[in-house]
Amino acid sequence: MENQKIGTKCVQAGYQPGNGEPREIPIIQSTTFKYDTSEDMGKLFDLEASGYFYTRLQNPTNDYVAAKITALEGGAAGMLTSSGQAANFFALFNICETGSHIVASSSIYGGTFNLLAVTMKKMGIETTFVSPDCTKEELESAFRDNTRAVFGETIANPALTVLDIEKFASAAHAHGVPLIVDNTFPTPVHCRPIEWGADIVTHSTTKYMDGHGVAVGGALVDSGKFDWTKHAEKFPGLTTPDDSYHGIVYTEKFGQAGAFITKCTSQLMRDLGCIQSPQNAFYLNLGLESLHVRMKRHAENGLAVAAFLEQQPQVKHVSFPGLPGDPYHALAQKYMPDGTCGVVSFEVEGGRKAAETFMGRLKLAAIETHVADARTCCLNPATSTHRQMTDEQLAAAGIPAGLIRISCGLEDKEDLIADLAQAL
Ligand SMILES: *Cc1c(COP(=O)(O)O)cnc(C)c1O
């Protein structure tokens, strides 16, 4: 059944039980797998046969769920990680090493900003940040000979800027490197970056994909479209022998569609071990089964709340790419015609203090370091998720100190608006 629609894939893709097998994805709660001969096992260690031997690298439950997310994104191969942070790190570190350089949108999640600007910098991997709204020339000038990847978020958390995927993809490809897009906020229900030229897609599945606030997790999907061998000198890890596997060359052995994820699993997962637990993968799948139904409601609630806030005199400004007056509305219409997400950012008059008072009065919207689950929640980024950033960095990322991010859940929009109205 080719060309299934997105909702059908949410419910059914990834796991097809055989005769008499469990209808629901089984949780393979086992760290190890048994083999009859050492030779059988040896083939797995040599990557000569595919199969499971240790859950630090791979587990069948995870693979069923990764296959569903891969189908949703229209990719060739995918894998789960223990968190969204791990997914972004793996996506980048799979093709970068000491001396490499990354071009990234400055409008990204605070955790990813720290990963790039602090931790990966310590590893000798430098990042040049560019505004998502930069001109083609500005984007062009950020590249260096050692640039190995371009990175951005479809809808940035929390700035809610929309990435012009085609602009970033064409610049990346002109320089022989892939575009990696973190597609956490719209999810593949509302945007499939691979269709617009992205090569690798990442997710914090902790957000809408799980959708119930129960399981931290991440995912990576490779489109299989990037020709690593065409730029072989840039990606020696994929195109030259891996001594830790008797000299196999990933692009030769696993082809364009398999090289990236196979290397990521057999090398990075082996050595760094950021695997998602099979139990969490099971919860994630429950979330995925209703993702298409929930995203519609989240986006509707987000739009209703944004439209209400825009009319309030106490509100200085509202960001929501689904709102017709928003600077990113045109890009949102292009890349996400069916809707965006349920996260709305707005600035109340009176800065940090007023934001605090307002948030304290809310009854339905809880104060949480989280977004994108069934219950509405809110946060002041400057005093929480982004507190490591200087005022200049905050400004560059489009996050004023008095900004409130509200994540509209699945409640009735009339009740959410009434709660906001009483607090204002
Ligand atoms: C939350 C988030 C992350 C990090 O994911 P974790 O699952 O919390 O590690 C990365 N990118 C975006 C866009 C996020 O919202």
Q: What is the pLDDT of residue 397?
A: 67
Distance 47 CA to ligand 1 centre (A): 31
Distance 18 CA to ligand 1 centre (A): 35
Q: What is the pLDDT of residue 385?
A: 74
Q: Is 112 in the pocket of ligand 1 (CB under 6 A)?
A: yes
Closest C-alpha to ligand 1, atom 5: 84
Closest C-alpha to ligand 1, atom 1: 204
Q: What is the pLDDT of residue 202?
A: 99
Cis geometry, peptide bond prior to residue 158 (ω within 30 degrees of 0): yes
Distance 84 CA to ligand 1 centre (A): 5
Arithmetic mean of pLDDT over the chain: 95
Q: What is the pLDDT of residue 370?
A: 85
Give the DSSP letter string of 303-363.
HHHHHHHHT-TTEEEEE-TTSTTSTTHHHHHHH-TT---SEEEEEETTHHHHHHHHHHH-S
Q: Is 210 in the pocket of ligand 1 (CB under 6 A)?
A: no
The closest of 419, 208, 190 to 322, measured between CA atoms, is 190
CATH topology match: 6-285 vs 292-423: no
Q: What is the pLDDT of residue 391?
A: 66
Q: Is 207 in the pocket of ligand 1 (CB under 6 A)?
A: yes
Q: What is the pLDDT of residue 398?
A: 67
d(CA 68, CA 66): 5
Q: What is the pLDDT of residue 333?
A: 98
Domain extents in the chain: 6-285, 292-423
d(CA 24, CA 41): 29
Q: Is 161 in the pocket of ligand 1 (CB under 6 A)?
A: no
The closest of 379, 364, 370 to 410, measured between CA atoms, is 364
Residues in the chain where the model's pLDDT stays below 70: 1-2, 391, 397-398
pTM comes to 0.96
Q: What is the pLDDT of residue 2?
A: 64
CATH of span 6-285: 3.40.640.10
d(CA 100, CA 110): 22
d(CA 72, CA 61): 17
What is the identity of the amino acid at 265? T
Q: What is the pLDDT of residue 401?
A: 76
Class of domain 292-423: alpha beta
Distance 190 CA to ligand 1 centre (A): 18
Q: What is the pLDDT of residue 152?
A: 98
The SS3 assignment for 292 reads helix
